[in-house]
Structure formats: structure tokens, C-alpha cells
Amino acid sequence: MPTKRLSRETLQQDVESMNGLNAIVGYQTNRPEATPEGLQTAHRKMLAMQQRQIEQQVIAREAAEAARQAEHDFHNAVLAMKEAVKGQFGSDGKEAVAIGLKRKSDRKLPTRRSKSAVTVR
């Protein structure tokens, strides 16, 4: 199974070659994929698969956007819940700790630095 996609230029040249086959009189082959009908079938299948890929990419982008929006909606709901808990129970209660907030009383107060400590650097 091929692992690398063909370039647009290569595919365009292939389409031009297939169309040029119509100008050849007396072309015959024993290979079914190389007959004009086989080429047309392979070309239609390629176009259908390319269309399917584009549709799947659109669906994937829409799903990713929906997931991103749902993540933001959930995050905003959690933030609203935290604000509601702080409003109802205060920011220093055990309820605040239960939802992952730090108690107001547990926060360390800023300390002043002496001028000599600042200028030593």
C-alpha cells in the first residue's frame, strides 16, 4: 500500500494522458485496468474518494470545533460554580478547599524587603 500521496501535477498529467488516449486509433490491451473503460472507472473512483476525504475533513473540523466549544463551556461553568461557592460560603471556608481553591487565610502575606537586600543584587 502506498504511503505517500501523489502530487497534483502528477495527477493532472495522468488525467491529460487518459484524455489523450481518445486520440489514439486502434489501441488495444489485455490489461483490464489499462482499457479506456478501466481508466474511466479508476478516475471516477479517485474523484469519489477525494470527495469523501474532503467531506470527512470537514466533519472532523466541525467535531474539533464543537469539542473546543464544549471544553470552554465546561470551563466557564466551573468558574461560575467557584464564584457561586465563594459567594455563598466565603473564600475562607472548607467548601472553597473542596472545590480546589486556596483558603484566604492560608495565603502568605507579602513581606517587605529591606532596602539593603534589594540593592545587594
The pLDDT of residue 63 = 98
Judge whether 99 lies within some domain: yes
Roughly how many angstroms between the first and final C-alpha of the chain, as a whole number? 65
Please give the grid coordinates belonging to residue 101: 481553591
Q: Which domain holds residue 31?
A: 8-105
The pLDDT of residue 80 = 96
pTM comes to 0.64
Judge whether 1 lies within some domain: no
Quick one: what percent of the chain has pLDDT higher than 90? 64
- The yes-or-no verdict on residue 120 having pLDDT over 70 is no
Judge whether 59 lies within some domain: yes
Amino acid present at 106: D
Total domains in the fold of the chain: 1
Judge whether 46 lies within some domain: yes
Judge whether 114 lies within some domain: no
The top-scoring range by mean pLDDT among 18-32, 61-75, 104-118 is 61-75
